[in-house]
Amino acid sequence: MTTLVQEARQGAVLVKFSHIRTGEELQRNVTLYPHLIPHGFKVGNIDNGSSKVPMWDMDNQVWMDLEKSTIISYKRV
């Protein structure tokens, strides 16, 4: 998961994941890059042992906790 976090710290990433409850496949443009987050908010260290990763959902303009086990794929956009 470190690679996803590293990519998101550098810009936008398209993440495909399954909804935690319904299993529906979803995709979102997410980031941890301060220049793409309102007010330049910065995320500190993210524990590799955590089951969730905080991400700024650029499509809906909200913070989301992305469950690692639900990630199908991701790519930098």
CATH number at 15 reads: 2.30.30
On whether the CB atoms of residues 34 and 41 are closer than 8 A, the answer is yes
pLDDT at 42: 86
CA end-to-end span of the chain, whole Å? 17
Domain housing 58:
2-76
pLDDT at 58: 97
Q: How far apart are CA 69 and CA 20, in angstroms?
A: 9
pLDDT at 62: 97
- The structural domain count of the chain equals 1
pLDDT at 1: 59
pLDDT at 37: 95
Pairing of strands 13-18, 52-57: unpaired
- pLDDT under 70 in the chain at which residues? 1-2
pTM: predicted TM-score of the whole model, two decimal places = 0.91
pLDDT at 2: 66
